[in-house]
Amino acid sequence: MIILGFESSCDETGVAAVCTERGLLAHALHTQVAMHASYGGVVPELASRDHVRRVIPLAREVMRASELSLSDLGAIAYTAGPGLAGALLVGASVAQAIAWSLDLPAIPIHHLEGHLLSPRMASPCPEFPFVALLVSGGHTQLMRVDDVGSYTLLGETLDDAAGEAFDKTAKLLGLGYPGGPALAKLAEQGDPSQIVLPRPMLHSHTLDFSFSGLKTAVMTRLKDALLQPVVSPTLQADLAAATQEAIVDVLVAKSVAALVQTGLKRLVVAGGVGANQSLRKRLQAKLVRLQAQAFFPPLELCTDNGAMIAFAAAQRVQRGLADLGAQGHGFNVSPRWDLAQI
């Protein structure tokens, strides 16, 4: 079966075609980063309007690239939550309208399920069960994944997400939005040992995280520097490197603790922060010593995209977990939605 999938939960419009047998056929993406940059963060109303503008041209692009006609499609998938309500409604309404007009089933997908199954698009594909470290702009969670649809929360952040910690620190350092990639780039020139930052909850004996203290520590360090006429580029780079190291230290330690606690040997990393090269290198090195294996999505599919939504739907269809029966095409979106409840 070929599934056309739509992602519009935040500031990326993504569309993709995935075949249950052949995998990803084509995907197209538009990121709104440039549009939101001058506001220092996502403006929900602007996000919704831009999704409206982009979604149909992107769908046409995917149909062209995969050489599909509408009659080839077997189902339409879309992100039903969590995310920005107005933004979610764009993808949901377009997907439901297409499904209704073609008399196809529509499959609502949880955004985080999309992220955590996305490493299964790469080769080698992680077999179940595995531990998933979900690190996005809004979420930091460790989950035990026994199969598609079988997710147990092991631990999560009590305040800021890891991506948020990257973004907020980057903002303090004047690196613009979204700050994660910019902070990671600046960190390459810095020396993390020059500045001591806290490793929140590192020794808490739980699998929970807390990152909000990190930005406060950076702010305090910067306040002293701001009394000088200019903040030195060396200090900026050292702060970026120290911040990245503190976040990565905690993510690596908790991921290892989750593997030990569950007795599992496979760790899947998903979500935008999964693109961070320092995290990738440190986890890989650590896991080799534990005779465990780390899996990452293809780099371009770490951040939000339509491929992970169409792919999650395909995995649900293959296991008989998607409702493919007659549907009314009325729909809801769930801006707040716990993955453990699906």
Distance, in Å, from the CA atom of 190 to the CA atom of 325, rounded to the nearest integer, reads 56
Q: Which of residues 270-309 bind Zn ion (CB under 5 A)?
A: 304
Task: Say whether residue 7 binds Zn ion (CB under 5 A).
Answer: no
- Which one among 118, 136, 169, 244 touches Zn ion, defined by CB under 5 A? 136
**Which residues are CB-contacts of 146 (< 8 A; sequence separation ≥ 6)?**
128, 129, 152
Strand 140-147 with 2-7, pairing:
unpaired
- Distance between the two ends of the chain, CA-based, in angstroms? 23
- CA nearest 92: which of 82, 102, 203? 82
Q: Which is nearer to ligand KG4, 79 or 93 (CB)?
A: 79
Query: Under DSSP, is residue 176 helix (H, G, I), strand (E, B) or coil?
Result: coil
Q: Which is nearer to Zn ion, 141 or 236 (CB)?
A: 141
Least separation in angstroms between residue 114's CB and Zn ion is 8
φ/ψ of 152, rounded to 5, equals -120, 125
Could you tell me which residues are beta bridge partners of residue 130?
145
Tokens 């538009």 belong to residue: 30
Task: Say whether residue 137 binds ligand KG4 (CB under 6 A).
Answer: yes
Task: Pick one of Zn ion, ligand KG4, none as the site partner of residue 273 (Cβ within 5 to 8 A by kind).
Answer: ligand KG4
Q: Which is nearer to Zn ion, 104 or 211 (CB)?
A: 211
- Which one among 50, 160, 167, 238 touches ligand KG4, defined by CB under 6 A? 167
Task: Pick one of Zn ion, ligand KG4, none as the site partner of residue 26 (Cβ within 5 to 8 A by kind).
Answer: none
Least separation in angstroms between residue 290's CB and Zn ion is 28
Least separation in angstroms between residue 68's CB and Zn ion is 26
φ/ψ of 80, rounded to 5, equals -100, -5
Query: Amino acid identity of 147?
Result: D
Q: Which of residues 245-304 bind ligand KG4 (CB under 6 A)?
A: 271-273, 275-276, 303-304
Task: Say whether residue 157 binds ligand KG4 (CB under 6 A).
Answer: no
Task: Pick one of ligand KG4, Zn ion, none as the site partner of residue 184 (Cβ within 5 to 8 A by kind).
Answer: ligand KG4
127-156: b (≥16 Cβ within 10 Å) or e: eebbbbbbbbbbbbbbbbbeebbebeebbb
- 150, HSE (Cβ side, Cα atoms, 13 Å): 8
Q: Which is nearer to Zn ion, 93 or 136 (CB)?
A: 136
Least separation in angstroms between residue 136's CB and ligand KG4 is 3
* Contacting residues toward Zn ion, per CB under 5 A: 136, 304
Residues lying near ligand KG4 in the complex (CB under 6 A) are found at: 10, 136-138, 163, 166-167, 178-181, 184, 271-273, 275-276, 303-304
